[in-house]
Amino acid sequence: MKFKDGYWRMRPGMRGAYAVAAHDVAAEAATLRVLAPTRPITHRGNTIDGPVLRVDVSSPMPDVIRVRTVHFAGSVPDSPVFAVRDDAPEVKIAVDGEAASLTSGALSVRLRRDTPWEMTFSADGRELTRSDGKSLGIVHDADGRHFMVENLHLSAGELVYGLGERFGPLVRNGQSVDIWNEDGGTNSELAYKNVPFYLTNRGYGVFVNHSGRVSFEVGSETVSRVQFSVEAHDLEYLIIHGPTPADILRRYTALTGRPALPPAWSFGLWLSTSFTTDYDEATVTSFVDGMAERDLPLSVFHFDCFWMRQYRWCDFEWDPEVFPDPEGMLRRLRERGLKVCLWINPYIGQASRLFDEGMAAGHLLRRPDGTVWQDDHWQAGRALVDFTSPAAREWYAGKLRGLLDMGVDAFKTDFGERIPTDVVYADGSDPERMHNYYSLLYNQTVHDVLAERGPAVLFARSATVGGQRLPVHWGGDCESTYEAMAESLRGGLSLGLAGFGFWSHDIGGFEGRPDPAVFKRWVAFGLLSSHSRLHGSGSYRVPWLFDEESVDVLRTFTRLKARLMPYLYGAAVEATTDGLPVMRAMHLEFPADRACDHLDAQYMLGPDLLVAPVLSTEGDVSYYVPEGVWTRLLDGETVTGPGWRSERHGFDSLPLLVRPGAVLPLGARDDRPDYDYADGVTLQVYGLADGSARTVAVPAADGGEGAVFEVSRTGDRVRARRLRGAPAHWNLLLAGVREARHPRLETTPGGVRVAAAPGTDDIEIILEGAA
């Protein structure tokens, strides 16, 4: 929200009062408590009248500093609040006549005691950012609304990323962003997943710990500042030191939570009925049969909205006219090795039998006058489940357990964004702060039910802070165009920079029927995402309805993803332990390469694979290659960076490059995503430098340790040693190498390979002609 008219003046009706000094400072335990008046105090008379801000400075964990500012403490709601870890670390506090400071790890904050106000954050002797004159304060508008505001300094060349799922340019500078969940598609400034956290290329992140609307002006009101404001009497934010983007994400997700590990089967191909299409068991069976007949591996079948009767969403009852034997159908799908996902939402249409039941039990959200809140959006007479009520959550969860008993494996938790504020919650939560937070309670309720029976996976659309703990999330309703493909990717990369480890999108687009070329290009992108789903609105997404080449392209990339699972599931495990997303913006992996700062049409899939989706029918694509000799995974050709490449690719290809020095574990199976990844694994080595070594952990299909290898090079010798685990078979392949020596050496199109004899713990290949 913009308060100023240019640099000097406020906008009409706006009145601001800003901290001018840290006048009264006290060290209380591990907290600095500051009284910051909004006018200079030259004598005692100046302490009468006028607002004074209470500023508490503390640290919840090393290298993180929390600033909490309160005006009227009696006007601050008790709930909801984000769950933030607090380890109460040891801090250093110093107070003298000139300044007060607090240090946590390598991060320090210094507050000037005298005018003008200055609060400076620094690490390792370098200023990161600061709050100075007319930065921290309160603003009233012409209607008497009360805002808390802070402005943090942006240095020359400083770039801002994050703020959740955003579909515009990846760099936020110059943008106005409201953290407010909306159902707005993927081609506007609205977003389904809003997160009040950003990070910059100067080595720090900022998390505004406020669950309601937070308005950011990112170099947009004042070009040298990031302003954030809330309509409230309290404002809390945390400065998170890196110094690298990956370090910042590790600390942010340590504060707010890291993703649970989705089951391995969820990484396979999902096929949907689509939304408004006609379907029954015969239709479903024809799709499943068609996939099998064409040798297309399928892991999950998804039933969208109309598995229930019209007007009755959600009553969690199968439409008896269309699905007269749901238990039998689910059993038949299960016998074919498929998992099943059902669409649900948190709304109860008036025609649903659950409406009267929920109203009578007090499980539905109410207006201030005590009546049930209803409207006719989406479902006639729609009401909302009040997830702040433990009884309502258990009631809703009980309905889902009945479906799980039938044989359902996962739920697509759609909607949860258009949450009203003219309501009263069962636990007294503030409605404005519940608008975004509602998505967290909704998805947590469903995830908890699934987790009762083993590893859980959602297909969720709405989210906020903490939602990353409940994967997977998909990008929402996009059009079936190359432009929508690009905006979806931008949204996913931005979401990853907010701590979300797993992300998907509707292959081919949601709205409209994609041109066959768009579908085929999207298939390659979709199967090189963490999760992969064929889904649409009014048309089916089985590939043979587009053309026969679509079948071939889908087969190629589905099988490629299955072989990549030892690598991809290792990246998935890393997301749960370190908070780094499976799909990574280039800046996250290459922060020192300024050419990567603005890249949003390519990404790293895990740490070692570069992917550049093709966004044209002709196959023309331009992408950037960081320093080093990279190898194209699909044909073994090398590409040397740094520099830009322009290429043309067929539908069965795209730029997919392996990072120099990588050791890529490839699985022995290509027909399913969940198998014994260590058994038969091939360790593919790409340009390992002399004197270097890589430890490669191959996970088990349950996320545990399958096998651990060390691959090293000394001079002309490349050696792989099995450190832990006991795979019956494993292989070492030196990509691109044609001349080498080993008694069991085999030359393949991809390079020389040695298969370990049973019980072998060590393979050493001697390079011939090595420099």
Where in the sequence numbering do the catalytic residues fall?
414, 417, 477
Degrees, nearest 5: CA angle 739-744-745: 20
Q: How many CB atoms lie within 10 A of CB 739?
A: 12
Q: Kind of pairing, strands 24-28 and 31-37?
A: antiparallel
Under DSSP, the state recorded for 511 is B
Residue type, 373: W
CA 219 – CA 703 distance, rounded (Å): 42
CA 769 – CA 587 distance, rounded (Å): 36
501: left (phi > 0), else alpha (psi -120 to 50), else beta? alpha
CB 169 within 8 A of CB 600: yes
Residues facing 714 on adjacent strands: 717
Degrees, nearest 5: CA angle 410-564-287: 45
699: left (phi > 0), else alpha (psi -120 to 50), else beta? beta
CA 434 – CA 212 distance, rounded (Å): 7
Look at residues 714, 713, 709, 716 and name the one whose alpha carbon lies nearest to residue 762.
709
Q: Kind of pairing, strands 64-70 and 234-241?
A: antiparallel
CA 167 – CA 490 distance, rounded (Å): 5
CA 555 – CA 523 distance, rounded (Å): 10
Look at residues 511, 503, 507, 446 and name the one whose alpha carbon lies nearest to residue 477.
511
Which positions ≥6 away from 460 have C-beta within 8 Å?
A: 412, 413, 416, 439, 443, 467, 470, 471, 472, 473, 474
